[in-house]
Structure 1
Amino acid sequence: MEGDFIKINKWLMPLSWLYGLGVKMRNMLFNIGILKSRAFNTPVISVGNITVGGTGKTPHVEYLINILRNHYKVAVLSRGYKRKSKGFVLADSSSTVADIGDEPYQMKQKFPQVTVAVDKDRCHGIEQIEQGDNNIDVILLDDAFQHRYVKPGINILLVDYHRLIIYDKLLPAGRLREPLEGKDRADIVIVTKCPSDLKPMAYRVITKALNLFPYQRLFFTTIAYGQLQPALHQGTARDLHELKDDNVLLLSGIASPRQLYHDLSSHCSNIQTLTFPDHHRFTPKDVHLINETFAAMEASKCIITTEKDLTRLRDVEGLNDEVTAHLYVLPITIQFMHEQEDMFNHYIIDYVRKNSRNGILAKGKDDHQSQNSNRPGNRTRTISFRNN
């Protein structure tokens, strides 16, 4: 299960030991109460990881939005990585990637009715959201597992199947942001990016290896792909199976593009890649490289990029007509495996229902009615059910 994806630099292990000592000291200060974690009146669900690199945070946050938005007023708070603005920013229809960052921008574009805000100081960000709208039912914290100044009601830890934390090492030798015992803070652990044909034995091996506490819930998810959508041109959507005879240029600036390349390879055999760093801002030099690379490819051909990359490509100048006419975005979602979807949804929705402002008001009303029913003069009737 360790695989070829995890590369440990043994020469850096002494630095990892020093780094781990500092992280352990910080966590200890929180555990003994010298540094304070703050709880809020609004239900807070945190989604994050303890590794550097992509574990699928954005599609999992979007999944939470989808299961909650029809019944509750949802807000998303992110750091807004690599944005040019400072402090608290509340997204609106005129917000740009430079204002709020690419991932918050993507979520605001997909869910315009959802409150999206960014603030490096998560406590301050939550305060601003609550002051701006006291009808918010739940706040989703994006990438906040290490932000311990906030005490979430549900703490969700994402673990990449291809880089299981049990086989990784601390920075800088490995990619762990904190020691493995940090996983103990999670209420839910989700193993992400699993193969769609993951065998029952693999479930059992990973479950045993993670060695979670009884209070922690373990889920497994896999990536699901939608139809290719025209990105910068008017056109029709395409199914992935239509790519079998195409020359494909995969253009990505995400943390872990290897999974995407592997999955596309099952639909087309001729794939060329242009890979940039995560959250990369495309420069004129990059644009020239994209134009030249695509021009050199033989027809029939197309370019595929991710939703996150498209948020940055929209504002880029200099992409030629051939590129824009053949550029498609590949939407991704997540699917729960092992028939776990209903269990996960119920757990999340039940927490929000019981702890949101509307839920508390409803509970208070029920409690008041219950007290009235027990006053003298009020008759009560008990109905008993027996199993036949």
Structure 2
Amino acid sequence: MIKRLLFYVLSELYGLITSCRNALYDRNVFSSKHFNRPTTLVIGNLAVGGTGKSPFVAYLVQHWPFPERLGILSRGYGRKTKGFRMVESTSKASEVGDEPLAYKRQMPEITVAVCEKRVIGVEKLQNEVDTLFLDDAFQHRAIQGDLNLLCTTYDKPFFIDKMLPLGRLRESSEGVKRAQAIVVNRCPATMTDAKKSAFESYGLPVFYTRVRYGSPVGPALNEIKNWHLVAGIADPLPFFKQAKSLGDIINQESYEDHYAFQTADFQYWEYIAKQCQADTGILTTHKDFMRFQEHLADYPNLLNHLYYLPMQMEFVSEEAEFWTWMKQSLKR
């Protein structure tokens, strides 16, 4: 009871602070910079993570219909470096963050960079790209994007959530007013009219997407029937659920989002891998694999048994309508 009361007080305080900050930006007390070049698209969320933002960014880049030079700018959360850095396919997750590295390896032809100060990052990339996707920048009010796309999920929408630490919101649901569209990710096969009406009650265009998983990617051609699962992401439940369709689950371990695996963790998973038979593997997410990879040379058994599960986003319906809206919004 006392803990919940404390969380409630902290939640109210956090909400007051973020509301005051937003009010200062809205009244131009704090300045917000708009760039004529490049075109900037802000993709973000009101919650702290697990809203399907990363697959949506990858989808936009991979399906972009205009002949332009594209780039992704991220804060590079979890990296051990500071300042502006270009992301290369040979970079390490500890240098640039797991999500930017995953973007670069998935789309090596695209410019990917990290910078915690987004204004500086955009300035550095002005001559490199024509359209820049600002990953997880919805609360970065120092930049006024050309288009703000707000991601949420069908099962855990922002309008039923609470402020940190009582819930997962970084700011109140009033922040939706800064968006030009809502993208609802991880939708089920059947959506209720009542739930759709709730999303659409904000008077914004709403688009519904779902996740499609691929086959596990890893070192061996053997058919894997048994899995150890490991995930360090904000919402591992969809990953765990999908893994159950791939075989028998021996055990599953979850860590906090963007968890920096320690030596003891690698030693533990090396021990697990050493016990694995030919039909047994260790399965993780693509982002977690980025953090594992730079250490695998020191753990040969883990190297030979570690797989990741690729995923991509697709529209439930109205994909053509989304791109029509995008062209009109960007005046292309």
- Corresponding residue of 1:225: 213
1:114 aligned residue (104, 110, 124): 110
The answer to whether 1:341 aligns with 2:329 is no
- Provide the secondary structure at the position in 1 that maps to 2:215: coil
Listed as ranges, the gaps of 5+ residues in structure 1 are: 1-7, 355-388
Letter in 2 for 1:75: G
Aligned length: 329
The answer to whether 1:310 aligns with 2:310 is no
After superposition, residues 79-90 of structure 1 pair within 5 angstroms as: 79-90=75-86
- Provide the secondary structure at the position in 2 that maps to 1:162: coil
- Corresponding residue of 1:128: 124
2:148 aligned residue (137, 152, 155): 155
1:35 aligned residue (24, 30, 34): 30
CA shift in 2, pair 1:298/1:162, >3 Å: farther
RMSD: 2.3
1:24 aligned residue (16, 19, 22): 19
Contact map agreement 1:193 1:222 (CA 8 A) in 2 = yes
Cα drift, residue 352 of structure 1? 4.8
Contact map agreement 2:88 2:101 (CA 8 A) in 1 = no
1:189 aligned residue (182, 195, 202): 182
After superposition, residues 162-311 of structure 1 pair within 5 angstroms as: 162-195=155-188, 197-199=189-191, 202=192, 204-210=193-199, 212-214=201-203, 216-230=204-218, 233=219, 235-236=220-221, 246-296=225-275, 300-311=279-290
Cα drift, residue 121 of structure 1? 1.0
Letter in 1 for 2:326: I
Q: Bigger radius of gyration, 1 or 2?
A: 1
Cα drift, residue 296 of structure 1? 4.7
Contact map agreement 1:291 1:319 (CA 8 A) in 2 = no
Contact map agreement 1:306 1:331 (CA 8 A) in 2 = yes
CA shift in 2, pair 1:318/1:274, >3 Å: farther
Listed as ranges, the gaps of 5+ residues in structure 2 are: none
Cα drift, residue 40 of structure 1? 0.9
Letter in 2 for 1:65: V
Distance in 1 between the 2:284 and 2:53 partners? Answer: 18
Cα drift, residue 293 of structure 1? 3.0
- Corresponding residue of 1:4: none
Letter in 2 for 1:144: A
Contact map agreement 1:10 1:173 (CA 8 A) in 2 = no
TM-score (norm. length: structure 2): 0.91
Distance in 2 between the 1:264 and 1:26 partners? Answer: 41
- Provide the secondary structure at the position in 2 that maps to 1:210: helix
State, as a whole percentage, how many aligned pairs show the same letter.
33
TM-score (norm. length: structure 1): 0.79
CA shift in 2, pair 1:297/1:108, >3 Å: closer
Cα drift, residue 346 of structure 1? 2.9
